Structure 1
Amino acid sequence: MHKLSRDDLLSLERYAAQRGEFRARAIAHKRARTLSLGTHATLLFEDRLTVQYQVQEMLRVERIFEAAGIEEELAAYNPLIPDGRNLKATLLLEYADEAERRRALAGLGGIEHRLFAQVDGFDPIPVRADEDLDRSTDAKTSAVHFLRFEFADAAIAALRGGAALAFGIDDPRMPLRATVGEPLRGALLADFD
């Protein structure tokens, strides 16, 4: 997947006119790229469209229209687009009640480093979390983390051949595992093209 450039983005005026339709398409696309690991942990697998939506929204909210500002947003979000050998995801640690969220996040410092991907027949693939900046301390973690999973050629070939794919958290504080079903599996396979 190639990275976004300014030419791929709509001007603020054009985006305002098309926002409703674009937003509906992006939300439906995100829904198909989401994996619930458990009650409080969700993975949203990023791709070019999810990143474009995020950039367009940031430009809109911040009223950014100058080239330098647009380039800064692209530089911040383009690393979330998979490059054909990896999957990139946003980990969302979700708690509806604010007090419960604060308590839970206070007890989950470093949890983002305990995620893994597992292709059937292969060793777990460890996560690379928050490469842009640290979002966790020993005392607490953030509710949002950016993740990268690097796949070997043999694992990608096995996935294309029908091997199962799962993601999980290997930590006694939140031991979770979920197998990827359709249509998400198909969407993730396309990220390797």
Structure 2
Amino acid sequence: MSTGLAMKRQITREDILPMASYEAERRELRRDLVAKKKFRRQDVGPVCTFYFENYDTMWAQVHEMLYIERGGEEQIADELSAYNPLIPQGRELVATVMFEIDDAQRRKTFLSKLGGIEEMAFFEIDGERVVGKPEEDVDRTTADGKASSVQFIHFPFSESQIAKFKSPGTRVILGFSHPEYGHMTILPEEVRAALSKDFD
């Protein structure tokens, strides 16, 4: 994984461990990742969680997919293509957004009312809104208006917004402007500080 000395922005073939090495270190690596992710998640409302991605989280995800699916060398390129776009590039935050409802019928009904929510996530810093942009790999709302339970959202920041976000104690709000899920929350200082490191 990255050392933190210089934030890496892309996983390359050279970053992929031999599977035997990964298996030997997997338990320790996963324990380390839990600690790194502690302040990279934020609940918004009763059923939604934002998981903010970076090189370390995507490096771990690629290795887990290789470990689970056992696709070998042929699988590596596909995983890099799938997960590299979710690594923030220095002027953005990137989140996997999950709506988690255990009951299948209730989940279906709930998601049927959330069409377009991937276009309505935002940060608000000192009164300025940064509106999220969904990952362009696939449309996450169906033609009949049903949202996916998993969304991938990029938040592009200006230089001045980054400076404000990185300033200790800044009040940062994360939320949605969707009429059926208009929930918002103030980021805890530990989360704001952790996410600040995603910017150059």
TM-score (norm 1): 0.93
Aligned residue in 2 for 1:132: 137
- State which of 61, 69, 77 in structure 1 corresponds to 2:75: 69
How far apart in 2 are the matches of 1:140 and 1:99?
13
Q: 1:121 to 1:106 in 2, by over 3 A?
A: closer
- State which of 95, 100, 111 in structure 2 corresponds to 1:105: 111
How far apart in 1 are the matches of 2:11 and 2:57?
11
How far 1:145 sits from its partner (Å)?
Answer: 0.5
Instruction: Quote the sequence identity (%).
Output: 39
How far 1:132 sits from its partner (Å)?
Answer: 1.1
1:143 aligns with 2:149: yes
Aligned residue in 2 for 1:120: 126
How far 1:28 sits from its partner (Å)?
Answer: 3.0
One-letter amino acid of the counterpart of residue 35, structure 1: Q
1:16 aligns with 2:23: yes
Structure 2 portions without partners, runs of 5+: 1-7
How far apart in 2 are the matches of 1:119 and 1:89?
17
Answer yes or no: is the 8 Å Cα contact 1:119–1:155 preserved in 2: yes
1:85 aligns with 2:83: no
One-letter amino acid of the counterpart of residue 146, structure 1: F
How far 1:126 sits from its partner (Å)?
Answer: 1.1
How far apart in 2 are the matches of 1:149 and 1:97?
30
Aligned residue in 2 for 1:158: 164
How far 1:161 sits from its partner (Å)?
Answer: 2.8
- State which of 27, 33, 41 in structure 2 corresponds to 1:34: 41
Decide which moves more: 22-31 or 177-186. 22-31
Q: Deviations over 1:146-183 (max 9, x none)?
A: 00000000111122334322110001200111111132
Q: Give 4+ residue runs of structure 1 displaced > 3 Å after superposition.
A: none
1:5 aligns with 2:24: no
What is the RMSD computed on CA atoms of the aligned residues?
1.4
How far 1:29 sits from its partner (Å)?
Answer: 2.3
Answer yes or no: is the 8 Å Cα contact 2:118–2:140 preserved in 1: no
How far apart in 2 are the matches of 1:104 and 1:29?
32
TM-score (norm 2): 0.90
1:169 aligns with 2:176: yes
Answer yes or no: is the 8 Å Cα contact 1:11–1:65 preserved in 2: no
Structure 1 portions without partners, runs of 5+: none
One-letter amino acid of the counterpart of residue 188, structure 1: L
How far 1:109 sits from its partner (Å)?
Answer: 1.5
How far 1:2 sits from its partner (Å)?
Answer: 2.1
